Copies of this chain bind each other. A is one copy, B any other.
Amino acid sequence: VILVVALNPALDVTHRVDGVDWAGVNRPREVHSRPGGKGLNVAATLHTLGAGVRVLGLAGGVTGESVAAGLEGAGVPAEFSRIAGQTRRTFTVVDSRRGEAALFSEPGPRVAPGEYARFSVMYRESLRESAAVVLSGSLPPGLAPGTYAELTQAARAAGVPVLVDAHGDAMARAVAAGPAIAKPNLAELETLAGHSLSTPAGPDLQAIAAAAQRLRAAGAGAVVVTLGAAGLWAVTADGCWRASPPPVVAANPTGAGDAVAAALAHGVVLGRPWRERLRHAVALGTACAQAPVAGEFSPGAYRRLLPGVAVDRGGGC
């Protein structure tokens, strides 16, 4: 199974309103709530793909119970180390008339050292039965920036490949610990590089290639940079790659990066060569961006997109 770590999961609540009154009372036409946060988005996508998945995380309070109940209802195996704090919520208000969405993201709960220690024991035990590990999303308050690095080291010691998708210091430290794949998006790569990697015309592929190379040299087995509608850029042990989707209309790009992470981890477990791994990653990310609900995708669209993805050897390697 693929072990997905969710240290800062969320209960995602979405209200759909036709024409929001931002200074008055609104009766949402539809209300949805479901487990969220990057880790759980990856896990849900892997589960939909039919991959064996197991979630391990931290959860607390009644929102934590909601998250656990939502995963159970969806059939995703999950185990949470209980924390005293309340698992966070996100609120999204979708204004169907204006075509706008506002997201309100609560801060995560503070995690005590003993709570993380209990999680860490569960994690180390679970590594034995895991074919890959996904470390994705922000760290909640109270956890050291070296947390993902520590979890990466433990997985490496157990011979389990790690995919890491984080930002800033947590990402930089995790990369130094030697994950199989580091998957930053453009903004995350820019933070790590310390400078812009875009031109007024769009992503600066040469600068991105150089920054990705440096990140790989820092310790990652491969670096896959997601570039939104422009697809992705990868630097791997099998050289550099550029993968681009066919031109499509994106409905909701939220969660597309998590779909890419899921496809890459799945590709690792299936032993897909890089060319196929990247083709699936772009097709799945694009299918996710085409679906109206963040983090969901149509399996039919995913299959139809696969042959249209262009995967080419990239320059700069």
Q: A13-B91, A66-B62 are in contact. Are A27 and B105 (CB under 8 A)?
A: yes
Digitize A27-41: 1 where CB-to-B-CB distance is under 8 Å, 0 elsewhere: 110010000000000
Taking CB atoms, residues of chain B closer than 8 Å to A69 are: 62
Q: Give the residues from 58 to 86 in chain A that come closer than 8 angstroms, CB to CB, to chain B.
A: 62-63, 65-66, 69
Q: A15-B91, A91-B13 are in contact. Are A105 and B25 (CB under 8 A)?
A: yes
- In angstroms, Cα B91 to Cα A103, docked, is 12
Taking CB atoms, residues of chain B closer than 8 Å to A104 are: 15, 17, 26, 28, 91, 93
Taking CB atoms, residues of chain B closer than 8 Å to A100 are: 22-23
- In angstroms, Cα B20 to Cα A21, docked, is 13
Taking CB atoms, residues of chain B closer than 8 Å to A66 are: 62
- In angstroms, Cα B17 to Cα A268, docked, is 42
- In angstroms, Cα B94 to Cα A91, docked, is 14
Q: Across the interface, do A101 and B23 meet the contact criterion of CB distance under 8 Å?
A: yes
A107 interface residue (CB < 8 Å to B):
yes
- In angstroms, Cα B26 to Cα A103, docked, is 6
Q: Across the interface, do B22 and A20 meet the contact criterion of CB distance under 8 Å?
A: yes
Q: Across the interface, do B102 and A22 meet the contact criterion of CB distance under 8 Å?
A: yes
Taking CB atoms, residues of chain B closer than 8 Å to A95 are: 22
A279 interface residue (CB < 8 Å to B):
no
A216 interface residue (CB < 8 Å to B):
no
Q: Across the interface, do A102 and B27 meet the contact criterion of CB distance under 8 Å?
A: no
- In angstroms, Cα B309 to Cα A79, docked, is 59
- In angstroms, Cα B65 to Cα A69, docked, is 13
Q: A13-B89, A31-B107 are in contact. Are A102 and B23 (CB under 8 A)?
A: yes
- In angstroms, Cα B69 to Cα A65, docked, is 13
- In angstroms, Cα B106 to Cα A278, docked, is 42
Tell me the minimal C-beta distance from A14 to chain B in angstroms.
11
Taking CB atoms, residues of chain B closer than 8 Å to A247 are: none
Q: Across the interface, do A107 and B21 meet the contact criterion of CB distance under 8 Å?
A: no
Q: Which of chain B's residues has its CB closest to A103's CB?
A: B25
Taking CB atoms, residues of chain B closer than 8 Å to A31 are: 89, 106-107
Taking CB atoms, residues of chain B closer than 8 Å to A300 are: none
Q: Which of chain B's residues has its CB closest to A102's CB?
A: B22
- In angstroms, Cα B203 to Cα A32, docked, is 40
A194 interface residue (CB < 8 Å to B):
no
Interface pairs (12), CB distance under 8 Å:
A15-B106, A23-B100, A23-B101, A24-B103, A25-B105, A26-B104, A27-B107, A28-B106, A62-B62, A62-B69, A91-B104, A93-B104
Seen from chain A, the residues whose Cβ lies within 8 Å of a Cβ on chain B are 13, 15, 17, 20-28, 31, 62-63, 65-66, 69, 89, 91, 93, 95, 100-107
